Amino acid sequence: MATIGSSSASSSVAGALASSLSPAFTAGGLASGLDTNSIVSQLVTIESQPIQLLQQQQQGLQSQVSALGDLMSKLSDLQTATDALASNGVLAVSTASSTTSFTATPGAGAAAGRYTVQVDSLARAAKARSAAFSSSGAPVAGGTLTLTVQGKAYPPITIADGTSLSDVATAIRQSGAPVSATILSDGTSSYLSVTALDTGYPVSGAPADALGVAFAAAPGATGQDPAFAITSPATNAVLWVDGLKMTRTSNTVSDAIPGTTLTLGQEGGPAEDLVLANDAKATQAKLQQFVDAYNAINSVLQQNLSPGQGTDRSSTLTGDSAVRELQAKMQTLTSAIVPGLSSVRSLADLGVQTAKDGSLSIDATTLSNAITADPSAVNAIFSTATTGIGAVVDGLVNDETAPVTGTLSADQSAMNDSISRLGDQITAAQARVATYQQTLLAEFAAMEQTVSSLKAVGNYLTAQAQAQQQTASK
């Protein structure tokens, strides 16, 4: 027979069952003198102990599922960081010279070098203006207004006779043509000014192609003809790069020097030297994005595979072989050699170092030396197709996190199935314990009824005996 006694956790399970299934009031032991309610409660507590074990298993699996979700999320972050370096490059280039007629902004694909740049002219937008009107509310002649911008004709705008000058400006803005239309005033007269939103004109065309504003008055119109005329023709930017003449429609030129955007600001000045240099500090900052994403994963792996003392190991991934295999794969990334490269061919060659706890850091001196030795390899380590770090990380993350087929995804799915099965077992066990409790209550109630009946018989017999004794003594 089981010994009556329980832990506080087991008592809470039994208490919950008793409160939901027992009658609101039971006066056990009135006949027998036994505390039958306490006896039932303790027996139910003992019977409920397997439920507590099942719940602990379920909670442990839920913690593991959460840890796997965190791990997969951080793997996705690593993939994002790595893809950015593979696409945009790791090597950073900065401007190492001062110029007055333009500014240079190196970006992805920029390379160290020296260029001579001269700005002959800046790109400007074409402008047209109407004749003078007495005010912005002055009536305009009825007719048809046609806009041509950068060689493209836009649907005609119908102007009703007597429409105000300001309403014509509104109609132009709402036409969909890439122009602005505003009312200007010199203090005496008002003018409708139309300006192309884009600077320059088609390189193969003429300045007149940039903006055309034609108005055809309707017969019998009484308002004033706007009589638009070009007041400022469009111009294209003209610059020279290392003696090569270039014409562009914009003052922002991104295709003259690979990976570098020139913003033209002054024209007519002398030629200036543009010096682009490799920037070790900025390169380290970009590489640090990969290191930070890697270390976030390593932190989760360390917490789960090497939990500290006092940690409930059932709530960690300590015994998960798939997670240990991932850790081994991660550790090979820093030493992986990219085929086809020479002296600089791995993350370790870029100064990426591994500490005892598996975390990464960057040695600035090693990185600087790698940039000096082979700057193109700094990018190639990440961008090389199939074998570069970018491709390797893509493959690793997809193998681990792809829905259904990913190792960690399948692991998580199996755990969720186990959690569901444990839930079913807990529900069934709770039902059995509830039935057991009701059986005990019924049996003890029957016992109390029997004891009560026996006591009643005993009391009756005692009373009869006492009555006979009193009769005999008379």
Which tens digit of pLDDT belongs to each residue from 61-86? 898 999 999 999 999 999 999 999 99
Could you tell me which residues come within 8 angstroms of residue 364 by beta carbon, excluding any fewer than 6 positions away? 280, 284, 351
Q: How do residues 256-311 score in pLDDT, each as one tens digit?
A: 999 999 999 999 999 999 999 999 999 999 999 999 999 999 999 998 888 877 77
DSSP state at residue 307: P
User: Residue 464: pLDDT band by 50, 70, 90 thresholds?
Assistant: confident
Look at residue 447 in the predicted model and tell me its pLDDT.
84
Residue 433 structure tokens: 């314990």
Q: How far apart are CA 231 and CA 340, in angstroms?
A: 60
What confidence tens digit (pLDDT) does each residue in 301-348 have?
A: 998 888 877 777 778 888 889 999 999 999 999 899 999 999 999 999
Determine the Cα–Cα distance for residues 166 and 161; give it in Å rounded to an integer: 14
Query: In this predicted model, what pLDDT tens digit does every residue of 146-166 receive, in sequence order?
Result: 999 999 999 999 999 999 999
270, 118 Cβ separation under 8 angstroms: yes
Q: What confidence tier does 474 reach under pLDDT thresholds 50, 70, 90?
A: low
What's the angle, vertex CA 92, arms to CA 390 and CA 355, rounded to 5?
Answer: 60
* 31 confidence band (pLDDT: 50, 70, 90): low
**Amino acid found at 286:** K
pLDDT at residue 442 in the model: 87
Which of 18-32, 112-126, 206-220 is least confident? 18-32
**pLDDT band for position 223 (cuts 50, 70, 90):** very high
> What mean pLDDT is predicted for residues 381-393?
95
> Is residue 15 over pLDDT 60?
no
**177 three-state secondary structure:** coil
Single out the residue of 164, 162, 144, 163 nearest to residue 154, CA to CA.
144
Sign of the dihedral defined by the CA atoms of residues 406, 410, 416, 420, in that order? positive
Arithmetic mean of pLDDT, 34-52:
88
The answer on pLDDT for 25 being more than 60 is: no
Per-residue confidence band for 225, with pLDDT thresholds at 50, 70 and 90 = very high
> What does the DSSP assignment read for 179-233?
EEEEEEE-SS-EEEEEEESS-S--TTS-GGGSEEEEEEEPTT--SB----EEEE-
Greater pLDDT, 445 or 173: 173
The number of angstroms, rounded, from the C-alpha of 64 to the middle of its chain's C-alpha atoms is 23
pLDDT tier at 4 (50, 70, 90 boundaries)? very low
pLDDT at 285: 97
- What band does 24 get if pLDDT is binned at 50, 70 and 90? very low
DSSP character string of 312-360 = -GGGS-TT-HHHHHHHHHHHTTTT---TT--SS-STGGGTEEE-TTS-E
* Residue 458: per-residue pLDDT: 84
Residue tagged 């992986």 (tokens): 336
> Does 398 have pLDDT greater than 90?
yes
**Placement of tokens 């039994």 in the chain:** 14
**pLDDT above 50: residue 9:** no
Question: What is the percent of the chain with per-residue pLDDT over 90, rounded to a whole number?
Answer: 75
pLDDT in tens, 88-135: 999 999 999 999 999 999 998 899 999 999 999 999 999 999 999 999
Band (28; pLDDT cuts 50, 70, 90): low
- The answer to whether 199 touches 125, Cβ cutoff 8 Å, is yes
